[in-house]
């Protein structure tokens, strides 16, 4: 049944794109896809208007979700009647001219070999954005090697014609190499000096709002061809959170937007989604960094670095990391979990792990010198959350992160000061 549904959606999506001919900005990578999609959307909708730009809702980035994004429709779930209504709306779009966005910003996931190839079989992007891969990317379990996974992502560039534009992360060696010997135009972004769009003088800071709540921001200066413009990302923490903004600026430049206009859009409207380095007020006047949406080695390492940076701004505060399993890493799982443990040992006062694979995080932390009485391992996120309630003291800063299946948001729900807001603040 699912195969039949996929086939119908594919045919209809191809017809809709043929009829309306939007400019397609496609985004993929192993980390940062959704935040990058949101940054691009924020910049483009500010200039062209909300009705002229559409992007994926929620996690609509697969063989069913992407066509639904093209139609601007929700899933019918398992209800055949609702799916019939969805198809009727699409047929109406095909028969009668409708108001349709000029630009589609489409996030594409690649959980297994062939995913990007399937999507580009009926979607031909004008602009392809690759975020980051990392040495051991998420989903590598389903590929022969990280290089094979990178080749799957690279197919988003391979389909570009001479008029196409590839926007690549200059700081990620695997991504940067994807642009070699390509006939399409290449725009790179990053912190390194050779990047076309570059971030300099970045800072991640905590600040007090008018209602005395603590919030955070990340600031930097965007540099392009001699022009330098300050950018402030409100309620966004971490150096790694600048990459989506840089990618968004790169795409905006393709559309002829200027740096000042894009900076103002990001300053005013850009927000990361729940579970992505969000600051949440905790019980006992503590501060939670909620990064529970998902976890890969690259993003977990970046989150730990951010925890250390933030703690340096709050004198006398203790740092606690609650880290769950990083899934879909295959044979690389033990070594990368252990490496994360070594990094955590240098940044935290207490470490809590959740899950079987995360026990390797504990082992790495112990080998690096973290005292055993400051390390606790749990089977479930609920157990870790309940234990954490007693461990916490005033001014503690807590990072919570793990793969989606670990449901690490339950840890946050146990220790947030306003659990009644969990449905709106958490993933």
Read off the pLDDT of residues 230-286 as tens digits, 9 standing for 90 and up.
999 998 899 999 999 999 999 999 999 999 999 999 999 999 899 999 999 999 999
- Alpha-carbon distance of 381 to 38, in angstroms, equals 28
With contact defined as beta carbons under 8 Å apart, do 176 and 170 qualify? yes
Q: What is the pLDDT of residue 173?
A: 96
Spell out a b/e string for 39-66, using b for 16 or more CB atoms within 10 Å of the CB, else e: bbbbbbbbbeeeeebbbbeeebbbbebb
Q: Which string of DSSP letters, residue by residue, matches 158-171?
A: HT--TT-EEEEETT
pLDDT band, residue 330 (cuts 50/70/90): very high
pLDDT digits (tens, 9 = 90+) for 97-139: 999 999 999 999 998 999 999 999 999 999 999 999 999 998 8
- Alpha-carbon distance of 213 to 223, in angstroms, equals 32
Contacting residues for 181 by C-beta, under 8 A, at least 6 apart: none
pLDDT at 209 over 80: no
All domains of the chain in start order, with CATH: 2-269 (3.40.1190.10), 278-425 (3.90.190.20)
> Angle 80-95/2-20 helices, nearest 10 degrees?
20
With contact defined as beta carbons under 8 Å apart, do 150 and 116 qualify? no
Q: What is the pLDDT of residue 214?
A: 64
**What average pLDDT is seen over the chain?**
95
Q: What is the pLDDT of residue 315?
A: 80
Q: Which string of DSSP letters, residue by residue, matches 273-321?
A: PTTSSEEEEEGGGEEEEEE-S---HHHHHHHHHHHHHHHTTSTT--EEE
Q: What is the pLDDT of residue 283?
A: 96
- Alpha-carbon distance of 346 to 344, in angstroms, equals 5
pLDDT at 211 over 60: no
């Amino acid at each position: 049944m699912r195969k039949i549904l996929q086939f119908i959606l594919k045919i209809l999506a191809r017809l809709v794109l043929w009829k309306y001919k939007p400019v397609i900005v496609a985004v993929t990578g192993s980390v940062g896809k959704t935040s990058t999609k949101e940054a691009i959307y924020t910049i483009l909708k500010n200039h062209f208007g909300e009705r002229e730009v559409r992007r994926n809702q929620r996690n609509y980035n697969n063989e069913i979700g992407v066509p639904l994004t093209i139609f601007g429709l929700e899933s019918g779930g398992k209800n055949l009647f609702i799916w019939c209504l969805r198809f009727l709306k699409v047929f109406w779009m095909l028969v009668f001219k409708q108001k349709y966005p000029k630009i589609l910003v489409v996030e594409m996931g690649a959980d297994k070999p062939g995913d990007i190839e399937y999507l580009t079989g009926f979607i031909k992007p004008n602009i392809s954005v690759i975020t980051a891969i990392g040495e051991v990317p998420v989903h590598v379990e389903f590929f022969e090697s990280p290089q094979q996974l990178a080749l799957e992502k690279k197919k988003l560039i391979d389909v570009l014609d001479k008029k196409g534009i590839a926007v690549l992360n200059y700081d990620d060696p695997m991504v940067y190499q994807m642009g070699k010997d390509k006939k399409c135009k290449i725009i790179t972004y990053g912190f390194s000096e050779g990047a076309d769009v570059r971030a300099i003088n970045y800072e991640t800071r905590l600040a007090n709002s008018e209602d005395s709540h603590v919030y955070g921001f990340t600031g930097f200066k965007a540099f392009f061809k001699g022009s330098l413009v300050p950018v402030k990302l409100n309620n966004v923490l971490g150096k790694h959170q600048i990459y989506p903004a840089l990618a968004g600026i790169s795409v905006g430049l393709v559309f002829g937007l200027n740096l000042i206009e894009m900076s103002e859009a990001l300053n005013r409207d850009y927000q990361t989604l729940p579970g992505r380095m969000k600051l949440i007020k905790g019980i006992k006047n503590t501060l939670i960094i909620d990064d529970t949406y998902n976890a890969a080695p690259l993003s977990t390492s970046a989150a730990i670095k951010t925890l250390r940076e933030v703690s340096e701004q709050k004198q006398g505060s203790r740092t606690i990391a609650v880290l769950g399993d990083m899934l879909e890493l295959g044979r690389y799982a033990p070594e990368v979990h252990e490496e994360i443990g070594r990094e955590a040992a240098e940044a935290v006062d207490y470490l809590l792990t959740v899950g079987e694979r995360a026990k390797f995080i504990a082992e790495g932390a112990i080998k690096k010198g973290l005292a055993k009485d400051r390390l606790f391992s749990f089977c479930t996120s609920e157990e870790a959350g309940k234990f954490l309630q007693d461990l916490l003291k005033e001014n503690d800063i807590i990072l919570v992160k793990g793969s989606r299946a670990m449901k690490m948001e339950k840890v946050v729900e146990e220790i947030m000061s306003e659990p009644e807001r969990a449905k709106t603040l958490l993933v």
